[in-house]
Structure 1
Amino acid sequence: MSVPSGNRSPATAAAAPDPSAETITLRELLRALDTAVVELIDAPAGDDVAVASVALVDSSDLTVETESQSPMQDLYLHVGVADADAVRWFDDVSGRARRHRPHAVMSKTAHESSAVQAAAHRAGVALVAVHPKARWDHVFPLVQRMLDRSRRGRGAPADPDLLATDTDLFGLAQIVAQNAGGMVSIEDAQSKVLAYSASDEAADELRALSILGREGPRDYLRTLQKWGVFDRLRESDEVIDVPAHEELATKRRLVVSIRQSTEDTSTAPRLLGSIWVQQGDAPFNPDAVDVLRGASAIAARIISRSLNAPSTEGLLVQRLFGARGGGVDVPSVASALNLPMSGAAAVVGFAPTGSESSTATGEFAGMGSMLRLHASSFSRHSVATVIGDRAYVLLPRYKSAAGVTAWTRQLVDQFEAKRSIVLRAAIAVPVPDLAQVAAARVEVDRVLDGTAATFPEGRVTTLAESRTAVLLGEILDLVGEHPELHDPRVDALYEYDRKHGSNLCESAETYLAEHGDVRNAAAALSVHPNTLRYRIRRVEVIIGIGLQDAADRLLFELQLAVHRRATPEKPPQG
């Protein structure tokens, strides 16, 4: 499930760093990731090697990479790679020229296998152990952010300025730690760590767990809830003093919310995250509260800017899907994103269900990295993006349409089971080439729009499978948008129901749905067949048409559907 980082073509992905460009060394990367997450086992070529690209791979990707003689990524994250596969891969790459070998590998089993350690040493590749409890979907984005930061220019200024315009979250965390005293973690609105300062021996277990991407102890979270910490973070900008808890072995903390202000005074500021400072062996600095207030404002600007201005790679992906103006040079984008130009592809779109779209959109929008990891486990060349309240995945060179459908169903089930978000998905397949990706996105949007009313039957579908619902929905929308196409005779029928408390409209709809079978329709309505016959005759009198005429019946059924689509409430019963 290889996930290359950066927007360079394979020909330059592992080339020697440009001397004029800012780079980050392995030593600096490990220091930034913290000893709670990583530990260097061996560095045959030293730990000052440059790291400018990263890929997350499993055992199947190692076989693919071995068959290629193209330059490799600088850093590989081995996810679920068996020791035997890792040894074989290290031995294969050891015979390559230096530029065709990675500089470092991160693995959760590096501590345990002497065979892997020996193979990495023979290959001249640095081996880094990742904490067994660390989550790859947490470590991988952290590494990416560090590499992005190095491309923009590394390090805090010699005289740290809290108001520096080029400060990023990692730099801000370090500056707050220096000025407030303590160890800093900056989290998003879902309590996922975005950046942190260096830890020391005074770090408690709660800090270690948060850096590893794990949830804090439930007893402590319940205590925070009991103390009203989370409510105060949502409702105010005050700095909250969270006392130490001896029984839970947590130390004193200061925390402040990160909120996006709005000019609309009737709307509460949007919660973007929080900044936590754990006290170490020394007390907080006297002005720690003021430092946190200033940091909160800066963090809000940084996070808002990142939300509104995705990375260069993110922009390319969104333009490939037809967003942000589209009009891409497909060969150039394919080269930048390391996508194959030939072979059919699949496009999958995901949307929260109608009942959850308003509450889940914010959380769903933050799941781009998680979706990308799942997609990459299925197709090593996949790309994913979130546009508005929908997510899209491109799967180049898929093996079978059935496989794409099975993977999509599995992913929908996982999101519901593990994250309590119920999704619908639409698949466009095959997509002949990358130039058709934007059109494929339009197709999946049509399906998601057209099948919303059929949920949960339409959890995962395609245009071919749901064409009737999609086309009928679009026809009804088209008719609904043009008042001159509305039949006033149907309005008269609804008006009659409103005035008399009757249900002639429902009776007519049921009659039509049963293809004019009075007995079946009457049974569905729980009325006597003669009662239904009387109602249908009354309908024909009011609207002035005969339901035995095919054209009248078609027009009437279409008009009823348009009215029902515009007014989903059921007519009054009578």
Structure 2
Amino acid sequence: MTADDRAHLRALADPDQPGASTLRELLTALDTAVVELVHAPSGDDVVITSVALAESADLAAAGEPATSVPHLYLHVGVTNAEAVRWLDDVARRAPEHRPRAVMSKAALRSPALRTAARRAGVALVAVHPKARWDHVLPLVQRMLDRSRQQASSPDSSLLAMDTDLFGLAQIVASNARGMVSIEDAHSRVLAYSPSDESADELRTLSILGREGPRDYLRALHTWGVYDRLRDSDEVVDVPAHAELGTKRRLVVSIRRPSEDGSAAPAMLGTIWLQQGDRPFAPDAADVLRGASAIAARVISRGLNAPSTEGLLIQRLFGVRGEGVDVPSLAGALNLPLTGPAAVIGFATSATEGRHGTVADLGSTLRLHASSFRRDSVATLVGDRAYVLLPGYTSESAVAAWTRQLVEQFERRRSQLLRAAIAMPVAGLAQVAGARAEVDRVLDGTAATFPEGRVTTLAESRTAVLLGEILDLVRRHPDLHDPRLHTLLDHDALHDTTLRETVETYLTRHGDVRGVAEELRVHPNTVRYRVRRAEEILGMDLSDAADRLLLQLQLSLLRRGEDTPRT
């Protein structure tokens, strides 16, 4: 590990690191459309370096925690009574074991919650009832990552416009005279400039993580706005719409050209400029075009290179090279070095729903994992996501959570997942090996989907080992039996079904009557077809060795037929 790596580790591990965000900075970044400070007993300049979701089950355990607590809690689905009881418990803790701030959707309508927060000496922030937690949490985490990056690079302020989307949004807003929001290719807001009283409902809903008015979205399609953004670099002027209550906007696409110029530029997102109480600057279109080029670099860099913390997590899972300093990494991520844990791997099926993107999978899993286990870590590697749940010994609890998550993805997001669990994992040093184990399971059970949606190596060992054996045979053409192709050629030439009969015969262990019932033919027809197949193959299907070899060859053939063509 390099000296720079160790410096990053120390920065991540130190709760009082320079450049950490204050509560005021977080609230400014989240915007008044999303949050409102109810009260802050120590002022809004308290330092925030860590955040965690907390559901009812997370707050149920009373007592003083043995380790440090996150500085900021997001109360998700927590009732007023549960929040008050938890804050009363917090008030009895030592100061170093108290959070510094809590965000809650009930803060404005619950006097008891405000009173309990004052007793505990914890800042209370009200979150808009329509805000989505899976939108708020990534924004907070992005701000904390931004602060860490600025702290690790003293000259980063000189490059802020080229390294940070929030800084870019503010610069564009100032120079183009409007309110800016930067969205990804799926219309999710990545960053925005502060709003003022002239912000329309569309901007507010976008910042809250909600979809804009359907009539307006239909109008954008009717006007051809999305087609023009997809097909060109031009700045599109979207007029105000009095009936829909939307104000004039300028919008430009964020595009990344292919490296060799052979393919159409990839659409990375859009930059929207809403007009406020004053006209746009005369050169607003030029400002947007310049911002588009910068945003393309920033987003591309983000897609290609994870944050410092993300890089460390990937090293933990054995992705970014070997020789990881596990004790230092454990301190940086505030994870126990030893002790039981669980590693879970998730893979998408070939079926893609409306939200069926790999990026969605990674961000949503992080959200759910943080809710289930505050100290969980997650990462995305290729088209798979991995979650580490420290401190777990109950296989049934982990399996139940994983199954529930897989079902939620299918029910709510139209996305089919497979999951593999490795546990118990003895400690952080074994996480990379556990990831390799779940990869074996995911690779070996792909052909049996949708059966075994959630499984382990122990439960799927036969399928996994057989799949790996077939892969070995596939990679060695000299192990492919040409006699099988003779049978296939006969079927194709004479329009017969000898292969199907033989496969059914082997599956039913030579039960002629069972084969006849399944194929809906006379038993004598089955006997004739089996004898004819034996003649063509030059095999004796009463011989165990011939049966085993033929079953392997047929399995290899099916495996190739089931592989999606690209």
TM-score of the two chains, using structure 2 as the length reference: 0.91
2:495 to 483, 501, 504: 501
Shift of 1:264: 4.1
1:538 to 510, 532, 545: 532
Specify the alignment match of 2:366 in structure 1. 372
Shift of 1:89: 3.9
Please give the residue correspondences for 1:468-483 in structure 2 after superposition, counting only pairs within 5 Å.
Answer: 468-483=462-477
Query: 1:412 aligns to what SS in structure 2?
Result: helix
Query: 2:212 aligns to what SS in structure 1?
Result: coil
* Cα deviation 1:314-348 (Å, max 9, x = unaligned): 11211111212243232222222122234322211
Question: Where do 5+ consecutive residues of structure 2 fail to align?
Answer: 1-6
The code of the aligned residue for 2:234 comes to E
The code of the aligned residue for 2:316 comes to L
Indicate yes or no: 2:266 matched with 1:291: no
Indicate yes or no: 2:385 matched with 1:350: no
Shift of 1:272: 1.4
The code of the aligned residue for 2:223 comes to W
1:12 and 1:71 in contact (8 A); partners too = no
2:507 & 2:66 partners in 1: Cα distance? 63
Shift of 1:479: 0.9
Query: 1:46 aligns to what SS in structure 2?
Result: coil
1:264 & 1:309 partners in 2: Cα distance? 21
Please give the residue correspondences for 1:144-293 in structure 2 after superposition, counting only pairs within 5 Å.
Answer: 144-153=141-150, 166-293=162-289
Specify the alignment match of 1:334 in structure 2. 330
2:382 & 2:287 partners in 1: Cα distance? 34
2:340 and 2:393 in contact (8 A); partners too = no
The code of the aligned residue for 2:377 comes to V
Q: 1:394 to 1:434 in 2, by over 3 A?
A: same
Shift of 1:401: 1.3
Indicate yes or no: 2:43 matched with 1:49: no
Shift of 1:44: 2.2
2:329 & 2:119 partners in 1: Cα distance? 37
Specify the alignment match of 1:514 in structure 2. 508
The code of the aligned residue for 1:332 comes to S
1:130 to 127, 132, 142: 127
1:10 & 1:25 partners in 2: Cα distance? 16
Query: 1:366 aligns to what SS in structure 2?
Result: helix
2:127 & 2:95 partners in 1: Cα distance? 25
Shift of 1:196: 0.2
Query: 2:540 aligns to what SS in structure 1?
Result: coil
1:76 & 1:340 partners in 2: Cα distance? 21
The code of the aligned residue for 2:119 comes to R
Specify the alignment match of 1:486 in structure 2. 480
1:528 to 522, 530, 535: 522
Aligned length, in residue pairs = 553
Specify the alignment match of 1:301 in structure 2. 297
* Cα deviation 1:101-156 (Å, max 9, x = unaligned): 433222211112222222323333322211111111111111111122223339xx
2:392 to 375, 379, 398: 398
Question: Which piece of structure 1 moves more, 111-120 or 199-208?
Answer: 111-120
RMSD: 2.7
Shift of 1:214: 1.1
Shift of 1:81: 3.2
2:376 and 2:388 in contact (8 A); partners too = yes
2:511 & 2:287 partners in 1: Cα distance? 76
Shift of 1:262: 0.3
Q: 1:517 to 1:89 in 2, by over 3 A?
A: closer
Shift of 1:193: 0.8
Q: 1:517 to 1:108 in 2, by over 3 A?
A: same
1:352 and 1:360 in contact (8 A); partners too = no
Shift of 1:380: 2.3
Shift of 1:9: 8.6
Q: 1:466 to 1:12 in 2, by over 3 A?
A: closer
Shift of 1:173: 0.5
Specify the alignment match of 1:419 in structure 2. 413
Please give the residue correspondences for 1:549-568 in structure 2 after superposition, counting only pairs within 5 Å.
Answer: 549-568=543-562
Shift of 1:95: 5.3
Q: 1:402 to 1:536 in 2, by over 3 A?
A: same
Question: Where do 5+ consecutive residues of structure 1 fail to align?
Answer: 1-5, 570-574
2:13 and 2:333 in contact (8 A); partners too = no
1:330 & 1:221 partners in 2: Cα distance? 49
2:182 & 2:254 partners in 1: Cα distance? 9
1:409 and 1:460 in contact (8 A); partners too = yes
1:209 & 1:283 partners in 2: Cα distance? 23
Percentage of pairs with the same residue? 69
Specify the alignment match of 2:3 in structure 1. none
1:71 & 1:396 partners in 2: Cα distance? 15
2:467 & 2:196 partners in 1: Cα distance? 60
